[in-house]
Amino acid sequence: MKLIRKKKKAAGTYSSSSMSDIVFMLLFFFMVTTTMREEEINVKIKLPEATEIAKLERKDLTCYINVGSPLDALQDKFGTDTRMQLNDKFSSVDDIRDFVAAKREQLSEADRAQLTVAFKIDEQTRMGIVTDVKQELRRCQALRINYLANQPVK
């Protein structure tokens, strides 16, 4: 007695039902790994190159300071002068204090000392503004900084 009866299939067709499984698997992978960009960067930034760099750990403890000249589309509104962007808007050095305080507020008590400020600074920027930012950070007691850079392409 035949228990398993084979279904007869028309030649040339194949089951595509497993395709969706595969695609769903890929989909879940990307859904889990994706991190939505939190802020839109309005300044042009080409990071300088450096070799002695390490991966930035604990992204949740990091806040970013972006410095560069405004994007081409925004230049007729904001000019071409070097600007600093905190969160979503152009800011001045005086705003750093509130920015750091707000970020500190989000962190737990234990993590506050670990707060790192990452510098995303365009390589054409003059050191004057960078120094102003660093002095302001010293005044805010945010002493852990990180100069973001690119690995040179070989």
Instruction: Give the residues lining the site for another protein (CB under 8 A).
Output: 16-17, 19-20, 23-24, 26-27, 30-31, 33-37, 48-56, 59, 62, 81-82, 116, 118-119, 121-131, 134, 137-139, 141-151
Q: Which is nearer to another protein, 106 or 141 (CB)?
A: 141
Give the C-alpha distances (Å, rounded to integers) separating 6 from 2, 3, 9, 13, 44.
Answer: 10, 10, 9, 16, 64
Q: Which is nearer to another protein, 89 or 138 (CB)?
A: 138
Q: Which is nearer to another protein, 107 or 149 (CB)?
A: 149
Question: Are residues 148 and 62 in contact, defined by beta-carbon separation less than 8 angstroms?
Answer: no
Q: Which is nearer to another protein, 23 or 101 (CB)?
A: 23
Smallest distance from another protein to CB 90, Å: 14
Smallest distance from another protein to CB 17, Å: 4
Question: Are residues 71 and 58 in contact, defined by beta-carbon separation less than 8 angstroms?
Answer: no
Alpha carbons 52 and 56: distance in angstroms, whole number = 13
Smallest distance from another protein to CB 49, Å: 8
Smallest distance from another protein to CB 12, Å: 15
Smallest distance from another protein to CB 74, Å: 18
CA 92 to chain CA centroid, Å, is 21
Q: Tell me the backbone φ, ψ of residue 70, rounded to 5 degrees.
A: -60, 155
Q: Which is nearer to another protein, 89 or 139 (CB)?
A: 139
Single out the residue of 43, 116, 31, 35 nearest to residue 79, CA to CA. 43
Give the C-alpha distances (Å, rounded to integers) separating 76 from 72, 92, 128.
Answer: 8, 19, 24
